Amino acid sequence: MKIRLLAQDDWKIWRQLRLEALQYSPESFGSSYEEESNWSDTDFQKGLSTSNIFGAFEDQTLVACIGF
């Protein structure tokens, strides 16, 4: 497993994982699936550029993330 800071270019894989997590574990977030599923691509790109979000990768697949 490799852990690294996600870059703005990672927004597509982060979006996919985050929306899935919001659907299945909404109590873990201060937001909702309904709200973030309406975000634009730019909103997700901005999210990665304004926060420190680390991703855990198995092979080349993002399997977990944490933000500060």
Provide the token pair at 22: 């919001």
Q: Which domain holds residue 23?
A: 2-67
**Helix/strand/coil (H/E/C) assignment for every residue in 6-55:** CCHHHHHHHHHHHHHHHHHCHHHCCCCHHHHCCCCHHHHHHHHHHCCEEE
Which pLDDT score is estimated for 21? 94
Number of Cβ atoms within 10 Å of the Cβ of 62: 17
pTM for the predicted model, two decimal places: 0.87
The yes-or-no verdict on residue 56 having pLDDT over 90 is: yes
Counted domains in the chain: 1
pLDDT digits (tens, 9 = 90+) for 1-55: 999 999 989 999 999 999 999 999 999 888 999 999 999 999 999 989 898 999 9
Mean pLDDT, residues 58-68: 93
Which pLDDT score is estimated for 68? 84
